[in-house]
Amino acid sequence: MDWFPLYNSIRIAAVSTALVFFLGIFAAHFVAKAPRLVKGVLDVVLTLPMVLPPTVVGWLLLLVLGPRRPLGGWFLETFDLRLTMTWPSAILAAAVVSFPLMYRTARGAFESFDQTLAQAGRTLGLGDAYIFWRVQMPVCRQGILAGTVLAFARALGEYGATSMVAGYTPGRTATVSTTVYQLWRTGQDALALRWVLVNLGISAAVLLAVNLLERKEGRSWP
């Protein structure tokens, strides 16, 4: 049994989650403080990938990243770098579809944050950066953790956008999801079932870890 699809899925999910962690926190923090009209517009734009079919997201990415498109063609001609049909392109696709989960959970956590804590910090002479990382982030850590885990799980199981942007090449771009589809399509149901069980095991382990962390965090509160 070739374990490359599992390795590739984990590295794609890990790197894309690291990207959406910082981008999602930044976007959520900015939108949470934005005026109502700006917040409404940005919220729709940033959440759109969550409600669009993954194949539509993949098609839109191909319009931008394809080798015959302006951006994709420029990278190919200038840096000899292809933005599609490679495993890094799968990272971008996974990040786009998982970003709304990180963004929305983080935004909800920031909006529920008691601003009197920040005001108290400013009266003590603390800077905004210090307050954000040492006061607001610890208070909102449960929402941040939930968003991070959801983003990782979504990226790990992504198929539609990833298959369109990165394709399926054994040993190069194959993931667990695309491998299951290819095995089913070729009638290799027994091997497909093995990969399904592997995916179920990882997903269950991730959810169990989250539950344990939440219980530990709950006991840490007075």
Predicted TM-score (pTM) of the model is 0.85
pLDDT score at 59: 93
Architecture of the domain whose range is 4-220 = Orthogonal Bundle (1.10)
Spatial separation of the C-alpha atoms in residues 117 and 165, rounded to whole Å: 45
pLDDT score at 203: 81
- CB contact set of 11 (below 8 Å; sequence gap of 6+): 87
The amino acid that residue 23 corresponds to is: L
pLDDT score at 215: 67
Burial tier of 5 (Cβ tally within 10 Å: 0-12, 13-18, 19+): buried
pLDDT score at 220: 47
pLDDT per position in the chain (222 positions), as tens? 688 999 999 999 999 999 999 999 999 888 888 888 888 899 899 999 988 998 999 999 999 888 888 888 888 888 888 888 988 899 999 999 999 999 998 888 888 888 888 888 888 888 878 888 888 888 888 888 888 888 998 898 888 899 899 988 888 889 999 999 899 989 899 999 999 998 888 888 877 876 776 665 555 444
